[in-house]
């Protein structure tokens, strides 16, 4: 069976594969001690953390 790729209609939101993955990762992060990667901003990668320190 194929995986969802893009939304099927203009107003039907949240059906892109990337959105489904982020939604699932957030659900895991709410309950699990092991954190899943959601987005660069939410996960706080090492590079973005270093940039914030140098800019501040």
Euclidean distance between CA atoms 10 and 53, whole angstroms: 40
Hey, is 41 helix, strand or coil? helix
pLDDT digits (tens, 9 = 90+) for 6-22: 666 666 667 777 888 88
The pLDDT value recorded for residue 19 is 82
Euclidean distance between CA atoms 56 and 40, whole angstroms: 19
Are the C-beta atoms of 24 and 35 separated by less than 8 Å?
no
The pLDDT value recorded for residue 41 is 87
Q: What is the pTM of this model?
A: 0.56
pLDDT digits (tens, 9 = 90+) for 31-46: 989 888 888 888 886 5
Hey, is 19 helix, strand or coil? helix
Hey, is 12 helix, strand or coil? coil
The pLDDT value recorded for residue 31 is 92
């Amino acid at each position: 069976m194929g995986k969802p790729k893009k939304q099927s209609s203009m107003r039907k939101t949240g059906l892109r594969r990337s959105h489904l993955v982020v939604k699932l990762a957030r659900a895991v992060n709410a309950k699990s001690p092991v954190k899943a990667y959601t987005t660069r901003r939410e996960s706080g990668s090492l590079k973005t953390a270093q940039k914030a320190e140098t800019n501040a």
